[in-house]
Structure 1
């Protein structure tokens, strides 16, 4: 999306108003000096232009601002008992407020799905509690302080969505809504499925390993998903990215995104190193892996994107960098991608979070996790 310029009709009305004001002032004050009038005219131009430029917010239009601002889920008054460290009290089946929130998001995105509560929440709750209890101390502390609620549902229209909670106009935490039906794979199968969802079925496929065999569980798949979604909450509460509540969002001069993202969906690398990136769409099956993998994965190694999913847009750049940092750097877990042809590897790569190109991002993430 591109920023809109000032429209011509407004400009004509603007200068007409200036002339009218000056004419009235000249009559009332009986100004005789043309030099003074000229100076006064210039002064009014500067004042009006400064006022208008302050009112005009920079960045791309944000279609979700009204949804986030209007939902009761964004208000801290709707959350009680947050002083408790018992995660069972923060896990909810889908209720009307959460349903209305998702329906509004789906309406903006053009999705037709409408979620519903799950029938057996206790089974899913048990897996979710395992995921939360397995976090390291640093991550668990952040989750306890900033993840206020987790909703569970079916037919969400995706794996998960996130929302932000505010107190007195300040973003202090958030909530996550999970689709239980889409989270029915173990960790390695789930992330491999997500990566392959970008590509058409053919002779090649992708396999990713993020857990050793004994740890390759549904709980650890859920843990990875939760950390990614929590990354969106951290981006807001730590002022890493532009606020999700702003009518327009700009990434200009934000340290985490410098020289990587021009806007939410446009990267500095699109016209040079990574020209295929704008065509990548997860869960679309739109690209041929056989025809494009050499333009994607070997190139990815030379970019500041730690994973392909982090290259989807600027917001996912932070969220997937966060989960990559926790998973690879903090917890020293595996992250290995292979492209297979007839079940034989023809290409291998790791997560790029440890590379020199992400040094700035690592320092920011380290600072957040050391709080």
Structure 2
């Protein structure tokens, strides 16, 4: 009898041991698959090495960060900033190589006016997180941004501005930028973001800085995948849900907005005359507040941020007209107040409330 009990007990223990080992194996497989999928998720990030290797991303490169004096944070282009831009341009396929600006003090005065014009939570965020501004010429665009880290944590960023391309008042600058995506023809775009009395170079700079600062906020507030990751996935980030599949692929690309992926600012590659009806009337009914926000997921956040500050907080105009032979044929406003962007606005509200 005792032998029979011991035999049965041994069988039970054997079954339990096998079940335990089986569960352990399944857990191992699931853990491995989760780790592997996390490791491999997302698209390759060609900028990761540039950001990680530049001295500009290291806190040791910065001094007097406690100062709120903007003049102490504005520099002419130096070798480190030049090397950084050249690497970015190499990745992007641009041939431009910037140079230091000839008259820094004049531009610096306008820049300080633009920074001091900010108020409330926007001003506080800028002072806490915009740690340096470089000024140059022949950048290849209006501005580029970089991130500053301390102990492997992103704490702020820097911006490099092109003084020449920013030598326009606010309405002329943003109209130039919008038209830069298209070939010259009988149709052109005109955008108004300031009333006549406020249509100044200072306010153009103000708008540009807010957009670039949006990229810094995205990183420091973990709105999207870090710019330092070798692969970036937007899948689990609320701001991009239902809008972006990846950095450059939208949920609308195969259906409603098929021309979106062909739009390249500062390229003059697409005919506006032939394609405006396939772009702007569709844009007005999407979750993209502006055309620039539709170019990629990162600019979706940055342009949503500047749109929110400009239109919602400051209640300034943002009106786009398409002109044919100087006569309006289409009008639209900035779409940041659309019902479809309610969840994005709530996230922006949270950032500005902190």
Asked if these proteins are the same fold (TM beyond 0.5), I'd say yes
Tell me, in whole angstroms, the C-alpha distance in 2 between the residues paired with 1:359 and 1:38. Answer: 49
Q: 1:365 aligns with which of 340, 348, 351?
A: 348
Shift of 1:47: 2.9
Tell me, in whole angstroms, the C-alpha distance in 2 between the residues paired with 1:309 and 1:108. Answer: 20
Q: Indicate the residue corresponding to 1:243 in structure 2.
A: 226
Asked if the contact 2:57–2:147 (Cα under 8 Å) also holds between the matched residues in 1, the reply is yes
Tell me, in whole angstroms, the C-alpha distance in 2 between the residues paired with 1:38 and 1:363. Answer: 48
Asked if the contact 2:85–2:97 (Cα under 8 Å) also holds between the matched residues in 1, the reply is yes
Corresponding position: 1:84 with 2:67: yes
Matched residue of 1:347: which SS? strand
Q: Indicate the residue corresponding to 1:229 in structure 2.
A: 212
Q: Indicate the residue corresponding to 2:293 in structure 1.
A: 310
Shift of 1:40: 6.3
Tell me, in whole angstroms, the C-alpha distance in 1 between the residues paired with 2:93 and 2:268. Answer: 18
Judged with a 3 Å threshold, the aligned counterparts in structure 2 of structure 1 residues 368 and 38 are, in CA distance, closer, same or farther, namely closer
Tell me, in whole angstroms, the C-alpha distance in 2 between the residues paired with 1:38 and 1:138. Answer: 58
Q: 1:131 aligns with which of 101, 105, 114?
A: 114
Tell me, in whole angstroms, the C-alpha distance in 1 between the residues paired with 2:31 and 2:351. Answer: 36
Q: Indicate the residue corresponding to 1:51 in structure 2.
A: 32
Q: 1:297 aligns with which of 280, 300, 305?
A: 280
Tell me, in whole angstroms, the C-alpha distance in 1 between the residues paired with 2:222 and 2:116. Answer: 27
Tell me, in whole angstroms, the C-alpha distance in 2 between the residues paired with 1:136 and 1:210. Answer: 18
Matched residue of 1:103: which SS? helix
Tell me, in whole angstroms, the C-alpha distance in 2 between the residues paired with 1:193 and 1:172. Answer: 33
Corresponding position: 1:171 with 2:159: no
Matched residue of 1:307: which SS? coil
Matched residue of 1:165: which SS? strand
Corresponding position: 1:287 with 2:270: yes
Corresponding position: 1:328 with 2:318: no
Q: Indicate the residue corresponding to 1:195 in structure 2.
A: 178
Tell me, in whole angstroms, the C-alpha distance in 2 between the residues paired with 1:111 and 1:284. Answer: 11
Shift of 1:149: 0.1
Q: Indicate the residue corresponding to 2:168 in structure 1.
A: 185
Q: 2:131 aligns with which of 148, 160, 164?
A: 148
Within 5 Å, which residues of 2 pair with 1:96-111?
A: 96-111=79-94
Tell me, in whole angstroms, the C-alpha distance in 2 between the residues paired with 1:299 and 1:110. Answer: 30
TM-score (norm 1): 0.87
Structure 1 unaligned spans of 5+: 1-32
Matched residue of 2:227: which SS? coil
Shift of 1:41: 8.9
Count the aligned residue pairs. Answer: 339
Q: Indicate the residue corresponding to 1:220 in structure 2.
A: 203
Tell me, in whole angstroms, the C-alpha distance in 2 between the residues paired with 1:142 and 1:291. Answer: 42
Shift of 1:57: 3.2
Q: Indicate the residue corresponding to 2:3 in structure 1.
A: none
Residue by residue over 1:56-93, the C-alpha shift from the partner in whole angstroms, topping out at 9 and shown as x without a partner, is 23100001111111111111121111111100000001
Judged with a 3 Å threshold, the aligned counterparts in structure 2 of structure 1 residues 298 and 148 are, in CA distance, closer, same or farther, namely same
Tell me, in whole angstroms, the C-alpha distance in 2 between the residues paired with 1:255 and 1:37. Answer: 42
Shift of 1:52: 5.9
Q: CA RMSD in A?
A: 1.9
TM-score (norm 2): 0.91
Judged with a 3 Å threshold, the aligned counterparts in structure 2 of structure 1 residues 340 and 246 are, in CA distance, closer, same or farther, namely same
Tell me, in whole angstroms, the C-alpha distance in 2 between the residues paired with 1:49 and 1:95. Answer: 50
Shift of 1:112: 2.1
Q: Indicate the residue corresponding to 1:355 in structure 2.
A: 338
Tell me, in whole angstroms, the C-alpha distance in 2 between the residues paired with 1:77 and 1:286. Answer: 42
Tell me, in whole angstroms, the C-alpha distance in 1 between the residues paired with 2:109 and 2:139. Answer: 20
